[in-house]
Amino acid sequence: MAEITLKGLGHSYKANPKSEADYALKPVDLVWEQGKTYALLGPSGCGKTTMLNIISGLLKPSDGQLLFDGKDVTAATTSERNIAQVFQFPVIYTTKSVRGNLAFPLECRNWPKEKIKDRVEYIAALLDLTEILDYPARKLSADQKQLISLGRGLVRNDVSAVLLDEPLTVIDPQMKFTLRRKLREINRATGITMILVTHDQSEAMSFADEVVVMKDGCVQQSGSPEQLFARPNNEFVGYFIGSPPLNLFSVQFRNECLYVPVLDQLLPADAGGSLETIKVGVRPEHLKVQKSSEEDPQAHVTGIDDLGIEQVFSMRGRNGELFKVKSRLNRDLLCGDSVEVTAAEKDVMIFKEGLLVR
């Protein structure tokens, strides 16, 4: 187990990078504490797998240093780093039993047989594999095979971190929920640092103590799921985190304040700059609506998606802006209804040139 430090770490797949645009991973500084769960989240091609491969030793960075507990391991081999990596598709020995798969890493290190037996049974109990320890691995389901792959990484007691490269892709949705919970239980039980790569925000938010959001090879924000949801650093994070994503509204200047037409609300004009560079963001969950009898209502309902306990309302503001409202309190609303829209000032965010200013 180790504290992992990325110090000016960057990588380009070009031999002689000339600008930032040539970098798949732009130089970044991050510190990941021992024993926590982390997620690298972003769209395809954002640099998250490049970062993971540098940490594992499969890739040598173009710039910067990688430190484990303060020790420079930038040039160290994968085996020297004591990293366990679980890939998108399960990597197991189909000719062996579940027990044989879990024992193999320890046999390669010449552990005593009795010690191997105890350790394998301990890890099998953590992963709910005890009942199938002597089953042939080739006959198991995809999720069971992925658990074996994970178990092979956990069975060693000298692992610095477990790296998870989209390991739930081949798992059905209900089993994904179970495996995410199981991974967190294992993290709490063993204290092993876990880093998950994913493009699925719900996967990242439900798994990680801290989420690193990436775009175009650059870290946009790193923080707890609550921080990313409540106060995104920029419009991209606000849009990428949340379902539906953050609503962004245009503004006007009125009485030395910012006026938001859709909300019919005045805000302090402390952002500065031109109107074209300023947007107001409000989460769909933080918008309140009620039916209106006004001749010129703030908005109309244009669509309704029923999610069971909640509904997502598509709205069109009086100025033509489209936005979403997520609520469990407005079952009486129908398509075409006129509504009033409000938001508490504490839930309203102001962005200037894409960055959060208030």
Share of the chain above pLDDT 70, in %: 98
pLDDT at 273: 66
Name the residue with higher pLDDT: 257 or 217. Answer: 217
Domains of the chain from N-terminus onward: 4-240 (3.40.50.300), 247-356 (2.40.50.140)
Q: Are residues 35 and 191 in contact, defined by beta-carbon separation less than 8 angstroms?
A: yes
Higher pLDDT, 284 or 271: 284
Q: Which residues of 71-83 are buried (b: 16+ CB within 10 A; e: fewer)?
A: eebeeeeeeebbb
Tell me which of 104-118, 263-277, 309-323 is least confident: 263-277
- Whether the pLDDT of residue 82 is over 90: the answer is no
Say what the pLDDT of residue 11 is: 95
Mean pLDDT of all residues in 43-65? 93
Residue type, 291: K
What lies within 8 Å, CB to CB, of 329 at 6+ separation is: none
Mean pLDDT on 242-267? 90
The rounded mean pLDDT for the chain is 90
Give the per-residue pLDDT at 271. 58
Torsion angle, CA of 53/58/62/63, rounded to 10 degrees?
60
Q: Measuring CA to CA, which residue among 93, 171, 100 is closest to residue 138?
A: 93
Beta-bridged to residue 234, according to DSSP, are 355
